[in-house]
């Protein structure tokens, strides 16, 4: 058989595509569809634990809530190191790390922190309290780069070989953050730009921040890290209710942002507000309703989860101007107390929403048309379930604070497997499980696993 140069080139390109897409991309915190679901057609693991189904295991220097990000046989992850080599308390590093997805080999680890340390507090240099740390935001990939953001305001870019492209500190640029807890929104890459929400209170808290601080959304040029636009996002919320730890979720040609008692839609080109819906806090009476979950889109609505034990709201996406109450709302869940989420972001998969309630310790399958539960299961154990659920191949993956993973059938709600992946005394494990190709990537407090 004769081959032309064009045929040979086509074969080479075909093999290259097979190689580079063999793992599939989980390039942002909520995956390729921004909703926690994977489009992988491969069979995903069901029966596994610390000794079964492990392709590789890598030791991590410290804990983080960041989800592993997978792209082109690379796994990107953040971590902290609280050891200066002599065990000296109060000295720490913020780490940007890259592992080989096939072997688990550490390809590079960079001390990414600038040392910026706002305010005064006790404990480790990069630990504001015992629930979180500055390495909680997940990285994001775009334009052949990986972008890392840390809760002290450090934002920086590396190429895939670990060469630093640029860095800046957002607190130095725009003033110290006004958050009671550690700021942990993950950056979003969309439409060839990088986006980050800074939704904060308007007064100092715990000695950090300033009076009349503004909430805003940033659009950043990924080539050089410079601000393209900064759009102010006002809100009538009070005190802690102004604070949001959620991530911007893109949908078609809009950016969805939840926080300050409202959800807003923005033009990615200019930042201009298209519409807003709210509020889940009538009269803004609740002053301590910080928001953690991000929006999730499915079936023409965006779910927003009000804090604590408040309801979930399904907001229409084709709105204009300012809307409140029934206007612009498809349904809400006040009649079903189990449908609530204080921390985890819901999942949309196979035309269903899946709501993980960390306060009710339950997982529910929800009809997007009506908001009614199709099934509801109680989650096992004494630890909280706060990592946002992910799904693929008909399976939903959840992990609790102790690093215990359960696999649930998305059709029936049957628990298919329970795997203890964390240490005996682990707590506050908060990372979501990432899916790439036929593999799971699970991050506990101490280890990173690839399950095949």
pLDDT tens per residue, range 335-373: 999 999 999 999 999 999 999 999 999 999 999 999 999
**Strand, coil or helix: what is 442?**
strand
**Which residues form the domain of 274?**
24-451
Alpha-carbon distances, residue 246 vs 62, 138, 363, 370 (angstroms): 23, 12, 20, 25
> Which pLDDT does position 403 carry in this prediction?
96
Phi, psi of 172 (to 5 degrees): -65, -35
> Which pLDDT does position 320 carry in this prediction?
92
Q: Look at residue 1 and tell me if it is in a domain.
A: no
Q: Look at residue 409 and tell me if it is in a domain.
A: yes
CATH number (domain holding residue 397): 2.130.10.10
Closest CA to 391 of 419, 352, 338: 352
Q: How many CA atoms lie within 13 A of 342 on its CB side?
A: 13
**Strand, coil or helix: what is 245?**
coil
> Which pLDDT does position 97 carry in this prediction?
98
For the stretch 412-441, pLDDT in tens is: 999 999 999 999 888 889 999 999 999 999
Residue 125 has pLDDT above 50, yes or no: no
Q: Look at residue 14 and tell me if it is in a domain.
A: no
CA distance 315 to 331: 8
3-state helix, strand, coil in the chain (%, to 5): 5, 40, 55
Tell me which range, 4-18, 90-104, 264-278, is most confidently predicted by mean pLDDT: 264-278
Residue 30 has pLDDT above 90, yes or no: yes
Mean pLDDT of the chain: 90
What residues have CB less than 8 Å from 41, skipping those under 6 apart?
none
Whether the Cβ atoms of residue 279 and residue 270 lie closer than 8 Å to each other: no
> Which pLDDT does position 133 carry in this prediction?
86
The predicted model gives 386-396 an average pLDDT of 97
The predicted model gives 34-57 an average pLDDT of 95
Rg of the chain over Cα atoms, rounded to whole angstroms, equals 21
More confident residue, 414 or 15: 414
Q: Look at residue 380 and tell me if it is in a domain.
A: yes
More confident residue, 276 or 208: 276
More confident residue, 106 or 88: 106
Q: Look at residue 405 and tell me if it is in a domain.
A: yes
For the stretch 60-88, pLDDT in tens is: 998 899 999 999 999 999 999 876 554 44
Q: Look at residue 443 and tell me if it is in a domain.
A: yes
Residue 375 has pLDDT above 50, yes or no: yes
Which two structure tokens, joined as six digits, stand for 303?
Answer: 């779910």
pTM (whole model) above 0.85: yes
Strands (E), 39-184: 54-59, 69-71, 74-81, 93-100, 106-111, 140-142, 145-149, 154-159, 164-169
Poorest-pLDDT segment among 20-34, 156-170, 176-190, 218-232: 20-34
Alpha-carbon distances, residue 130 vs 123, 358, 406 (angstroms): 9, 18, 25
> Which pLDDT does position 325 carry in this prediction?
86
How many domains is the chain built from?
1
> Which pLDDT does position 285 carry in this prediction?
93
> Which pLDDT does position 91 carry in this prediction?
52
Q: Look at residue 343 and tell me if it is in a domain.
A: yes
Other beta carbons within 10 angstroms of residue 260's beta carbon come to 28
Q: Look at residue 17 and tell me if it is in a domain.
A: no
Name 75's bridge partners.
Answer: 70, 99
What residues have CB less than 8 Å from 89, skipping those under 6 apart?
82, 124
For the stretch 170-201, pLDDT in tens is: 999 999 999 988 899 999 999 999 999 999 99
């Amino acid at each position: 058989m004769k081959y032309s140069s064009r045929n040979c080139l086509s074969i080479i390109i075909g093999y290259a595509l097979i190689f580079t897409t063999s793992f599939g991309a989980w390039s942002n915190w909520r995956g390729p569809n921004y909703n926690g679901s994977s489009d992988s057609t491969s069979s995903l693991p069901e029966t596994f634990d610390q000794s079964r189904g492990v392709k590789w295991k890598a030791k991590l220097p410290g804990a983080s809530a960041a989800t592993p990000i997978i792209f082109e046989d690379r796994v990107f992850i953040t971590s902290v190191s609280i050891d200066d080599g002599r065990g000296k308390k109060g000295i720490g590093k913020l780490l940007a790390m890259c592992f080989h997805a096939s072997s688990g080999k550490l390809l590079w680890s960079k001390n990414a922190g600038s040392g910026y340390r706002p305010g005064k507090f006790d404990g480790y240099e990069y630990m504001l309290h015992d629930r979180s740390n500055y390495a909680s935001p997940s990285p994001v990939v775009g334009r052949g780069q990986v972008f890392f953001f840390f809760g002290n305001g450090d934002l920086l870019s590396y190429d895939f070989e670990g060469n630093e492209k640029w860095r800046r500190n957002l607190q130095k640029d725009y003033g110290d953050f006004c958050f009671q807890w550690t700021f942990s929104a993950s950056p979003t890459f969309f439409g060839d730009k990088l986006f980050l929400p800074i939704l904060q209170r308007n007064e100092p808290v715990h000695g950090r921040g300033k009076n009349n601080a503004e909430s805003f959304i940033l659009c950043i040029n990924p080539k050089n890290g410079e601000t393209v636009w900064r759009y102010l996002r006002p809100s009538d919320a009070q005190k802690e209710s102004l604070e949001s730890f959620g991530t911007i979720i893109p949908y078609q040609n809009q950016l969805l942002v939840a926080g300050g008692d409202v959800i807003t839609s923005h033009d990615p080109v200019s930042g201009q507000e298209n519409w807003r819906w709210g509020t889940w806090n009538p009269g803004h009476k609740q002053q301590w309703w910080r928001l953690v979950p991000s929006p999730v889109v499915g079936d023409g609505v965006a779910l927003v989860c009000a804090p604590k034990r408040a309801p979930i709201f399904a907001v229409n996406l084709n709105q204009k101007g300012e809307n409140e109450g029934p206007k612009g709302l498809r349904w809400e869940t006040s009649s079903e107390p189990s449908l609530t989420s204080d921390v985890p972001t819901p999942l949309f998969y196979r035309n269903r929403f899946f709501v993980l309630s960390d306060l009710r310790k339950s997982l529910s399958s929800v009809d997007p048309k009506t908001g009614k539960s199709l099934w509801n299961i109680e989650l096992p154990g004494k630890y909280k379930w706060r990592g946002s659920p992910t799904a693929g191949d008909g399976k939903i993956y959840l992990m609790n604070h102790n690093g215990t993973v359960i696999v649930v059938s998305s059709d029936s709600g049957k628990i298919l497997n329970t795997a203890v992946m964390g240490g005996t005394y682990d707590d506050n494990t908060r990372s979501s499980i990432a899916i790439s190709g036929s593999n799971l990537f699970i991050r506990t407090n101490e280890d990173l696993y690839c399950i095949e």
